[in-house]
Structure 1
Amino acid sequence: MVIALLAVSFLTLAVTAVVPNVPAMIAAAVVSIAVEVFLYRSQRGLVAMFAKMHVDTTVRHLVRDLLIVVALVRLQEQDDEGGMAGPLLVLLAFYGLHFAIQAVSVVVRRARTTPVLTRNIDTSGLPLTAAPPALLLRRPGHRLLILGLPATAGLLGAGASGEALWGVAGAGVSALAALAGLFVLGSHLLPGRRPPSEAAVLAWFDAWLAEYKPTIGMYFSGGAASAYQANMWLEPLAKLDGRPVIVLRERFMMQKITATDIPIVCLPQVHHLMRLEHSTLQALIHPSNSGKTSQVLRIPTIKHTFVNHGESDKLSSCNPYAKAYDEVWVAGPEARERYALADVGVEDKDIVEIGRPQLDGIVTYKGAPQGEYTDVLYAPTWEGWDGNPGNTSVVAAGENLVRALLADPKVRLVYKPHPLTGSVDPRAGAADLRIRELIRAANRGRTGARPGPEAVAELARRTAELDRLTTSTFRESADNLERMMLQTAPEPGRAAAVTAATSAWVEAYWAALPAWEHQIVTDARPDIQTCFNRADLLISDVSSVISDYMASGKPYAVANTSGLSETAFREAFPTVRAATVLTPDAAGVPALLERVRDPELDDLREARAELKLRLLGPSEPPSQVRFNDAMRALCESALQHRRRMTEREAHIPGQRAAAPTGDPELTTG
């Protein structure tokens, strides 16, 4: 609809340029500008799509004004009068100033791009300056739309009145506004308003490393959608003994990491990353593999361990890249055996079982469902990169499973698809949309009491409080890339406050929803573990979701869309051993629900307990304790390595001194 309106408005402008019609020209211009505003406010995806097609806002605005000018010239020719030269010259001046702003903005951005970005670090020692308005610095299309509005209005006024003066006045206002913007932007290139030089920032960073003396940390690099992989390790990392730091490589990732008190540094350039070699940093955990991981692995003074962002029976959970790390930390013995069977070069001596410290808050099995409704969580994974039909159940079984669940009047379905669903196979995306419509239709056919306005107001209050705590990570600034550097030290206790606020928000969230209403959960909140705690039953695919859900001990089912027989399916995927296996037609759903509601029929409870031990390891000592012990041992290994390096280099004349070994007590904080 939006694209059609935009196309019709431009087509109408083109027609009025050939056959002048003032009312039609004004109407088409107003509609096109209204659509532009709507696009910028709520359809950023379409804005990006137009940019990829090389018809971005600048092109569209230029074409729109050009068509209006042509129409005005045609009108003047019909009246045998001149006078359009003035508005045209002023309009050209405005566009010249606009492109001058664009050129200067590139220079200013480059001058203000610091080699290091930080969060939760006091940067008062750096003479940082406030950034120019984002409208001038980073939003050329939005800038042209706003500054060019008087010019377009003036041209339309000239067409309606026949007076060229309106066009001159409108274009003149736009030109003056652009000139003022150019002056404001250019002032940031003056010596007194320039940010510190690269050398000054790096010297400050080295001084901070020497003062803070980080000992442990997390390294992360990836795309915007992968931030959850790092976020799941924030709390366990914060609880470790030592002085933690988070090392990022992409500037945009600074805003994707959720609220934490851990110092965060972003080092986009590899030669700046190498400065960590001369710090007291001893060990880094890695939640994922990326192309840039190999760069940090070059630092010999730091020990590296792969902790992954989840474990499953998929080949990705025993990637050959893992052998590049000093150690691989897994949840339990099942993962150890998985690496042995995969034979990808990871030696058994380098594998350490630590459990899953993120799962400490999972509610354990308490028997039959406690409420009127049986809460079923359907959390399928995505289609993956290899095209294996067994990766996701969404395409072959999703709609059948959902229909079978919705057919039971005492089921409350919570559907939480993987964020990447449909990103590789369009069929998965289409099936996901159909599943959502099935759920919405089922809700329209259900009736029941709804929570009162007090519950809704409480959720709004809790949401506002949680947003305040999590977004106040950044100081307000127009320049998204620099505001991380503009903040001072973190507010003490903010991480604990976020934890408490999150818990309160979760309680308010579920309290504000009708107990009978099916839910589609696609936002970051509530997270998958929160959904675990609400569920009486999980239905999923072979993925890390199953492994994590095992911490609850509650019943679960796995959809078999692989084409294998049930026996072969269970043999191929150990995490399915304690599951009810569902066929693509979902024929087994009614019997499954019956077993969930009657613990006497639950013949897989002992199998789940045994599998939980294999997947996640023992409950004692707690996973966080084992995580801490593993980190201590790895740090001690790093210190011993540094001592050996120092001893060797002491016997080689002219050899560069090794990085500082620090104090062995640094491993205990």
Structure 2
Amino acid sequence: MKLLVLAVLAAAFAAQAVGALMPHVPLLLVASAGSLAAEGVLYRWQRGMVSLFAKSHADVTVRHVLRDLLLVVGLLRLGEQHREGVYAPLVAGLLVLYALHWSIQAVSVLVRRTRTLPVVTRNIDASALRLTPAPPVLLRRPGPRLTVFGLPATAGLLATAATDAPLYGVAGLTLSLGAALTGLGALLLRLLPGRRPAGEQEVLDWFDAWLARYRPTVGLYFSGGASSAYQANMWLEPLARLDGRPVIVLRERHMMQRIAATDIPVVCLPKVSTLMRLEHSTLRVLLHPSNSGKTSQVLRIPTIKHAFVNHGESDKLSSCNPYAKAYDEVWVAGPAARERYALADVGVEDKDVVEIGRPQLDAVRPYAGPPAPGAFTTVLYAPTWEGWDGNPGNTSVVEAGENLVRALLADPGVRLLYKPHPLTGSVDPRARAADLRIRELVRAANRERGGPRPDVSAATALTRRAAELDRLTAASFRPAADQAERMLRQPAPEAGRAAAVRRAETAWEEAYWASLPAWEHQVVTDARPPLYACFNRADLLISDVSSVISDFLASGKPYAVANTSALAEDVFRKSFPTVAAATVLEPDASGVPALLAAVRRPERDELAQERAALALRLLGPAEPPSRERFAGAVRDLCAAAGEHRTRRAERLAADLVADPSADLAVPGPRMETGTPPLASGGVERAGRPVD
């Protein structure tokens, strides 16, 4: 189909050129119409080719100009035969249309710059910034704008070439010029002083004032690509449960809508100079779920303590990255991670490692026994992705995935939930291809198995629950909305919204599973249901060496790990301590039948005690609960930050008394007039309630 569209466009332009040069009016008309039809097909069914043309410097603007240019050549060639003076004004009118088009583009750039604010926010009342709805998309995108505004002119010129009646060309150009002038006027009105959003300095002053009013105490700092948003999202709930006033600090504008529903204020500070304004705030602690190139920028702020909390722990080298020594503290789940850093010898001192458990795992329900007789055994296959280093042991998808899935689907008593990592196939095309083949195996097995489906009421209930959840969590934006308009539409949430969202999520999950046939295998790739909801439905997990198995241990259920590392089983277990309580599966999946038998008959499960002991090592003790240990670690680090600030202030005051003429701006903390006073320790409790 792609080659066909490309061939039609090329042939249409070639035929149009021949028709214009000969001149041959019927050929010119047919070729122009074919070219326009191919454009419609391109935008309706082949959107991927639009970016391909743009990369080839043959975007819609170039194609439209070429189309009109050939029409002009045809008209002028006709004019050589007769009435050149009649067609020349039409050509001049077309040139004026293009001049207006480029004027609109220049003004649209100016409008976009006035609407690109130095700070982007969510869950904060930004009405003081005089934000307005965004201009229509048509006025912001040059290619589609030229096509729509220029279509009447093109049609009029075609009609003129066909009938030798200039009136059609005049009418078409008049419509196009009128539309262009209207668009230009609409954009120029937005540049008037009273209609612009607040300027850069005004926005920065507003942000400083908000920091002074809100007085944040602890924040989550995140920088990354769109596909890595899950790393931050897993910490939203634990952060929201803290006392004090949390905030989420982002660096990329595109991440604003990738952060899941939360009542926590979200601020995006793209520039380093804007980020440094946090130094003057009451913010004491920043939590880091991942490392990124921009992390080093925020670590330069001396008034804030930084803790690396990671987005999951495993035996991979990434779980003891040398970069971790840049943080004030490294927070881990249990003793195993502490030992991992000690063995890695990457510069992280043991005194800086704090065990907090995994506060996210409150959502994981404990083991309630084997599947009931006659019920399906639900197996969750959740492989990780291939990673950056090409190690075949990273993911089982390539070498073992299809074998494992075939072995599971061959058991009539199994119901498979296949949940691949979001990044699967992003580096290795073989992983992507294997993932697609696995999905086809699941679809084929469902077609072969068949069975009764839930009645209509289950689907109706899911639709109702989804609508309720979307109402609470999904902000409703126009397709044309830009970031400034989204800021305007996302003020501070109402009190009690967080609790309502949790109830709606629970209700949606129950409705989701109820809407699916109990016999049907599932491929789970959407953000909902989350991984932990799949944990709760599964009787068994099959995965790779990753944080998934560490988290699954909170359930106490059996798990298996695929060994695609080419290591012997004893060496594999010794190399990866998280495998100690697992059933190790070889790439040929020959051990799957015995594994399923052990899951269905607990007396054959010889690893139950090992799982409990390993969970204690990996996740820490059940008491006190992880959320309490997490909150305690936050309080302690906030207190340390407060004491550090006090010492710096006392030293600065003492140095100033000793030498009033000394310049102490560099060694002392930079302070601005109006900076709120800081207590000497502890998390500040007053202020924003947390549901």
Kindly tell me: are residues 24 and 205 of structure 1, through their superposed partners in 2, closer, same or farther at Cα, counting changes over 3 Å? same
1:427 paired to 2:430:
yes
1:615 paired to 2:618:
yes
CA distance in 2, matches of 1:28, 1:283: 62
1:456-467 aligned within 5 A: 456-467=459-470
Structure 2: gaps (5+ residues):
657-661, 687-691
Letter in 1 for 2:631: N
Q: CA deviation at 1:3?
A: 5.0
- Which among 458, 465, 473 is matched to residue 455 of structure 1? 458
CA distance in 2, matches of 1:594, 1:161: 82
User: Which piece of structure 1 moves more, 302-311 or 497-506?
Assistant: 497-506
User: Which piece of structure 1 moves more, 494-503 or 658-667?
Assistant: 658-667
CA distance in 2, matches of 1:186, 1:463: 42
Letter in 2 for 1:538: L
Are the counterparts in 1 of residues 251 and 268 from structure 2 also a CA contact under 8 Å? Answer: yes
Kindly tell me: are residues 16 and 269 of structure 1, through their superposed partners in 2, closer, same or farther at Cα, counting changes over 3 Å? closer
1:32 paired to 2:38:
yes
Are the counterparts in 2 of residues 379 and 416 from structure 1 also a CA contact under 8 Å? Answer: yes
Aligned residue in 1 for 2:659: none
- Residue by residue over 1:89-142, the C-alpha shift from the partner in whole angstroms, topping out at 9 and shown as x without a partner, is 3333222222221111112212222111111112233333443223323x2233
Aligned residue in 1 for 2:11: 11
Are the counterparts in 1 of residues 12 and 32 from structure 2 also a CA contact under 8 Å? Answer: no
Kindly tell me: are residues 336 and 446 of structure 1, through their superposed partners in 2, closer, same or farther at Cα, counting changes over 3 Å? same
- Which among 221, 243, 246 is matched to residue 241 of structure 1? 243
- Which among 654, 674, 678 is matched to residue 662 of structure 1? 678
Aligned residue in 1 for 2:689: none
- Which among 549, 556, 559 is matched to residue 556 of structure 1? 559
Letter in 2 for 1:35: V
CA distance in 2, matches of 1:512, 1:159: 60
Q: CA deviation at 1:161?
A: 4.1
CA distance in 2, matches of 1:153, 1:284: 60
Q: CA deviation at 1:33?
A: 3.0
CA distance in 2, matches of 1:345, 1:591: 43
Kindly tell me: are residues 515 and 64 of structure 1, through their superposed partners in 2, closer, same or farther at Cα, counting changes over 3 Å? farther
Aligned residue in 2 for 1:341: 343
Question: Which secondary structure state, in structure 2, belongs to the residue aligned with residue 168 of structure 1?
Answer: helix
Are the counterparts in 2 of residues 117 and 484 from structure 1 also a CA contact under 8 Å? Answer: no
1:368-517 aligned within 5 A: 368-370=370-372, 372-472=375-475, 478-486=480-488, 487-517=490-520
How many pairs are equivalent? 663
Kindly tell me: are residues 444 and 247 of structure 1, through their superposed partners in 2, closer, same or farther at Cα, counting changes over 3 Å? same
Are the counterparts in 2 of residues 636 and 667 from structure 1 also a CA contact under 8 Å? Answer: no
User: Which piece of structure 1 moves more, 628-637 or 425-434?
Assistant: 425-434
Aligned residue in 1 for 2:219: 217
Kindly tell me: are residues 6 and 173 of structure 1, through their superposed partners in 2, closer, same or farther at Cα, counting changes over 3 Å? farther
Are the counterparts in 2 of residues 10 and 32 from structure 1 also a CA contact under 8 Å? Answer: no
Aligned residue in 1 for 2:88: 85
1:316 paired to 2:332:
no
Kindly tell me: are residues 64 and 477 of structure 1, through their superposed partners in 2, closer, same or farther at Cα, counting changes over 3 Å? closer
Are the counterparts in 2 of residues 86 and 168 from structure 1 also a CA contact under 8 Å? Answer: no
CA distance in 2, matches of 1:384, 1:451: 39
- Residue by residue over 1:323-372, the C-alpha shift from the partner in whole angstroms, topping out at 9 and shown as x without a partner, is 00000000111111111111110001000011111110112112212462
Letter in 2 for 1:662: L
Question: Which secondary structure state, in structure 1, belongs to the residue aligned with residue 128 of structure 2?
Answer: coil
Q: CA deviation at 1:88?
A: 3.3
Q: CA deviation at 1:78?
A: 11
1:102 paired to 2:108:
no
Are the counterparts in 1 of residues 585 and 591 from structure 2 also a CA contact under 8 Å? Answer: yes
Q: CA deviation at 1:57?
A: 2.5
Q: CA deviation at 1:156?
A: 4.0
1:567 paired to 2:570:
yes
1:541 paired to 2:544:
yes
Aligned residue in 1 for 2:274: 272
- Residue by residue over 1:454-485, the C-alpha shift from the partner in whole angstroms, topping out at 9 and shown as x without a partner, is 1112222222222222222x665844221243
Kindly tell me: are residues 200 and 464 of structure 1, through their superposed partners in 2, closer, same or farther at Cα, counting changes over 3 Å? same
Are the counterparts in 2 of residues 643 and 661 from structure 1 also a CA contact under 8 Å? Answer: no
- Which among 147, 157, 160 is matched to residue 159 of structure 2? 157
Question: Which secondary structure state, in structure 2, belongs to the residue aligned with residue 265 of structure 1?
Answer: strand
CA distance in 2, matches of 1:291, 1:325: 14
CA distance in 1, matches of 2:684, 2:145: 52
Are the counterparts in 2 of residues 368 and 596 from structure 1 also a CA contact under 8 Å? Answer: yes
- Which among 125, 132, 135 is matched to residue 135 of structure 2? 132
CA distance in 1, matches of 2:167, 2:535: 68
Q: CA deviation at 1:14?
A: 2.0
Aligned residue in 2 for 1:652: 655
Are the counterparts in 1 of residues 122 and 487 from structure 2 also a CA contact under 8 Å? Answer: yes
Q: CA deviation at 1:234?
A: 0.6
Q: What fraction of aligned residue pairs are identical, expressed as a percent?
A: 67
Are the counterparts in 1 of residues 131 and 485 from structure 2 also a CA contact under 8 Å? Answer: no
- Residue by residue over 1:352-405, the C-alpha shift from the partner in whole angstroms, topping out at 9 and shown as x without a partner, is 011111110112112212462111111111111111111111111111111111
Kindly tell me: are residues 527 and 78 of structure 1, through their superposed partners in 2, closer, same or farther at Cα, counting changes over 3 Å? farther
Aligned residue in 1 for 2:178: 176
1:293 paired to 2:318:
no
Letter in 2 for 1:231: N
Aligned residue in 1 for 2:609: 606
Structure 1: gaps (5+ residues):
none
Letter in 1 for 2:126: T
Letter in 1 for 2:678: G
Question: Which secondary structure state, in structure 2, belongs to the residue aligned with residue 390 of structure 1?
Answer: coil
Kindly tell me: are residues 550 and 68 of structure 1, through their superposed partners in 2, closer, same or farther at Cα, counting changes over 3 Å? farther
Are the counterparts in 1 of residues 132 and 485 from structure 2 also a CA contact under 8 Å? Answer: no
Letter in 2 for 1:624: R
Q: CA deviation at 1:489?
A: 2.3
Across the aligned residues of Structure 1 and Structure 2, the Cα RMSD in angstroms comes to 2.2
Question: Which secondary structure state, in structure 1, belongs to the residue aligned with residue 347 of structure 2?
Answer: coil
- Which among 325, 328, 336 is matched to residue 327 of structure 2? 325
CA distance in 2, matches of 1:145, 1:534: 52
Aligned residue in 2 for 1:633: 636
